[in-house]
Chains A and B, each alone.
Chain A
């Protein structure tokens, strides 16, 4: 892992909301195949950090670089659709899907944008056999087979969560940001999600996962960041950080509880 090349670099990122310093000087490097988890209490700035990286929110200072055909390219402040096309996908804390479209159509959009077919009018969107095959694979992988024809609005929370991640995954991004992928899932669904992430880990994909469940964090992560009040308190191997966070919690008072 440590030998693999860097695919994403965040350099001294800052974001203020009025007087609130939501992200305060965050830097880190993510390597190919790495799963980096981020923990921290509510309001620590985790989601905002993902927003800064994916272009949803522009940083007030700092830079983000993404590897692109061998080189690290500055993507700071680029709009989200460009960042996506450069190879960075993300899912959302509150499942963010297309409610008026079926599960299949939701995923198909990603497959169409990835293959540069969004402007096509000569063929119907269901007339791409090569995509249909991949579509079925993804639906299978994410356990969405039973609901493939349902509208997004008709899905349970767990299914929405899976669909959100499936939609991002279908982009085959080099880097995938997952914001609390297991929140609100049943124990069984959680296991499935962990299995999924573990299955993808170590290959071409790199992940940044914001996650509250420390058992999940232990199981899937190669490295771990603890965030608090916009700052990185610790960044190291998961076991080291988790031991350290016991110590941190002692003087932050109840902090360890909070990140659970």
Chain B
């Protein structure tokens, strides 16, 4: 079955990622770690976008809720790691439930604009609440409990579990409900699905994925700045998911991994990297709206005959 092919691809990819550090420099390992986190973020975002049909333009707020929640706990409040993780989750849930409740009354472009507005509000709050968040300076001296090499494997283990969990979720009755709501929300209601509830569940799960990515990002970088809450980062989350392909969990994951390398290389060679990124995206949307994973699938199908 085609579906299992996705699982095998994911396992293969994760296997490659597990041995990759053996052949990499410190610099590349660091980049790979960010790639994993971007991949995780894209997978989480795509549960809401690709699978539930809601385009959020504010997902940076959940990455930030995780990163800031953890960092505030560790650095400002002097909590232990577990308590700080708890704080980060709590903060994420509060933000997700409040913004979800208010923005999920709308769909499509109105939903996108509302999430964007709420995310910018949170960005403004981060800048304003200088005592807690460090304002535009951010938070420094976030401890990382281990060396970069080991941290990579911690991140890989968590990301792998969550990506496989997402692969599973979309195959459960809950995930089928997401897809029904995406395809046709009025029909979904007329077969007995509580559409608002389904959307909220998807929104919160999606937010938690972003939050975990943000929580893992803070100790990697040892510092966070408000950039991670700015709207451009929300746009990046959207873009990398589309690059990878929204029809599959594996697609979004690959998108995150690819993105970090396009981004770094384009940045290295030209200051017009944002233009290049825009071009790649435009070409992709025109020629391969199903993203990189869609292209791969087509090729594989052709090779098999």
A residues in contact (CB < 8 Å) with B: 54, 56, 79-81, 84-85, 89-90, 92, 96-101, 105, 108-110, 112-114, 117-126, 152, 167-168, 171
Cβ-defined partner of B183 (8 Å) among A119, A152, A171: A152
In the bound complex, do residue A84 and residue B191 qualify as a contact, i.e. CB atoms below 8 Å apart?
Answer: yes
Q: Please measure, in the bound complex, the distance between the C-alpha atom of A81 and the C-alpha atom of B186, giving whole angstroms.
A: 9
B148 interface residue (CB < 8 Å to A): no
Cβ-defined partner of B190 (8 Å) among A84, A101, A117, A121: A84
16 pairs of residues in contact across A and B, judged by CB atoms under 8 Å: A54-B190, A56-B186, A81-B192, A81-B193, A81-B194, A81-B195, A92-B187, A97-B187, A109-B188, A113-B192, A114-B192, A118-B198, A119-B173, A119-B201, A121-B173, A125-B173
Cβ-defined partner of A101 (8 Å) among B172, B183, B193, B198: B183
Contacts of B270 in A (CB 8 A): none
B174 interface residue (CB < 8 Å to A): yes
Q: Which residues from 140 to 189 on chain B have a C-beta closer than 8 Å to any C-beta of chain A?
A: 168-169, 171-177, 179-180, 182-184, 186-189
Main secondary structure of the interface of A (DSSP, over half): loop
Contacts of B192 in A (CB 8 A): 81, 84-85, 110, 113-114, 118, 171
Q: Please measure, in the bound complex, the distance between the C-alpha atom of A97 and the C-alpha atom of B184, giving whole angstroms.
A: 7
Q: Please measure, in the bound complex, the distance between the C-alpha atom of A246 and the C-alpha atom of B177, giving whole angstroms.
A: 48
Given known A119-B174, A120-B174, contact A100–B183 (CB-CB < 8 A)? yes
Q: Please measure, in the bound complex, the distance between the C-alpha atom of A112 and the C-alpha atom of B175, giving whole angstroms.
A: 12
- State how many angstroms separate the Cβ of B294 from the closest Cβ of chain A: 14
- State how many angstroms separate the Cβ of A165 from the closest Cβ of chain B: 12
Contacts of B177 in A (CB 8 A): 109, 112, 118-119
- State how many angstroms separate the Cβ of A152 from the closest Cβ of chain B: 7
In the bound complex, do residue B194 and residue A112 qualify as a contact, i.e. CB atoms below 8 Å apart?
Answer: no
- State how many angstroms separate the Cβ of A255 from the closest Cβ of chain B: 31
Contacts of A109 in B (CB 8 A): 176-177, 180, 188, 191, 193
Contacts of B198 in A (CB 8 A): 118
Given known A96-B187, A109-B193, A171-B191, contact A125–B175 (CB-CB < 8 A)? yes
In the bound complex, do residue A120 and residue B182 qualify as a contact, i.e. CB atoms below 8 Å apart?
Answer: no
Contacts of A121 in B (CB 8 A): 168-169, 172-175
Most chain-A CB neighbours within 10 Å: which of B171, B173, B187?
B173
In the bound complex, do residue B190 and residue A56 qualify as a contact, i.e. CB atoms below 8 Å apart?
Answer: yes
Most chain-B CB neighbours within 10 Å: which of A81, A101, A105, A120?
A81
Contacts of B194 in A (CB 8 A): 81
- State how many angstroms separate the Cβ of A248 from the closest Cβ of chain B: 33
Name the 6 nearest CB pairs between A and B, nearest first: A113-B192, A84-B192, A98-B183, A80-B189, A120-B173, A125-B176
Q: Please measure, in the bound complex, the distance between the C-alpha atom of A99 and the C-alpha atom of B189, giving whole angstroms.
A: 15
Contacts of B193 in A (CB 8 A): 81, 109, 113, 118
Residue tally, chain B, CB below 8 Å to A: 26
In the bound complex, do residue B191 and residue A167 qualify as a contact, i.e. CB atoms below 8 Å apart?
Answer: yes
In the bound complex, do residue A100 and residue B179 qualify as a contact, i.e. CB atoms below 8 Å apart?
Answer: yes
In the bound complex, do residue B174 and residue A118 qualify as a contact, i.e. CB atoms below 8 Å apart?
Answer: yes
Main secondary structure of the interface of B (DSSP, over half): helix
In the bound complex, do residue B176 and residue A105 qualify as a contact, i.e. CB atoms below 8 Å apart?
Answer: yes
- State how many angstroms separate the Cβ of B196 from the closest Cβ of chain A: 9
In the bound complex, do residue B183 and residue A120 qualify as a contact, i.e. CB atoms below 8 Å apart?
Answer: no
In the bound complex, do residue B172 and residue A123 qualify as a contact, i.e. CB atoms below 8 Å apart?
Answer: yes
Contacts of B173 in A (CB 8 A): 112, 117-121, 123, 125
Contacts of B182 in A (CB 8 A): 100
Contacts of A90 in B (CB 8 A): 190
In the bound complex, do residue B190 and residue A98 qualify as a contact, i.e. CB atoms below 8 Å apart?
Answer: no
Contacts of B201 in A (CB 8 A): 119
Nearest B residue to A116 via CB reads B192
- State how many angstroms separate the Cβ of A252 from the closest Cβ of chain B: 33
Q: Please measure, in the bound complex, the distance between the C-alpha atom of A92 and the C-alpha atom of B190, giving whole angstroms.
A: 10
Q: Please measure, in the bound complex, the distance between the C-alpha atom of A173 and the C-alpha atom of B192, giving whole angstroms.
A: 11
Q: Please measure, in the bound complex, the distance between the C-alpha atom of A105 and the C-alpha atom of B179, giving whole angstroms.
A: 10
Q: Please measure, in the bound complex, the distance between the C-alpha atom of A167 and the C-alpha atom of B190, giving whole angstroms.
A: 10
In the complex, besides A80-B189, A96-B184, A121-B175, 19 extra interface pairs with C-beta distance below 8 angstroms are A81-B190, A81-B193, A84-B192, A89-B190, A89-B191, A96-B190, A98-B180, A98-B188, A99-B183, A100-B183, A105-B179, A109-B177, A113-B192, A118-B173, A119-B174, A119-B177, A124-B168, A124-B171, A125-B176
Q: Please measure, in the bound complex, the distance between the C-alpha atom of A56 and the C-alpha atom of B189, giving whole angstroms.
A: 9
Q: Please measure, in the bound complex, the distance between the C-alpha atom of A96 and the C-alpha atom of B188, giving whole angstroms.
A: 10
Contacts of A126 in B (CB 8 A): 171
Q: Please measure, in the bound complex, the distance between the C-alpha atom of A247 and the C-alpha atom of B68, giving whole angstroms.
A: 77
- State how many angstroms separate the Cβ of A241 from the closest Cβ of chain B: 29
Q: Which residues from 186 to 212 on chain B have a C-beta closer than 8 Å to any C-beta of chain A?
A: 186-195, 198, 201
- State how many angstroms separate the Cβ of B291 from the closest Cβ of chain A: 16
Q: Please measure, in the bound complex, the distance between the C-alpha atom of A105 and the C-alpha atom of B184, giving whole angstroms.
A: 13
In the bound complex, do residue B169 and residue A81 qualify as a contact, i.e. CB atoms below 8 Å apart?
Answer: no
Q: Please measure, in the bound complex, the distance between the C-alpha atom of A79 and the C-alpha atom of B168, giving whole angstroms.
A: 30
Contacts of A92 in B (CB 8 A): 187
Q: Please measure, in the bound complex, the distance between the C-alpha atom of A119 and the C-alpha atom of B168, giving whole angstroms.
A: 14
Q: Please measure, in the bound complex, the distance between the C-alpha atom of A108 and the C-alpha atom of B171, giving whole angstroms.
A: 12
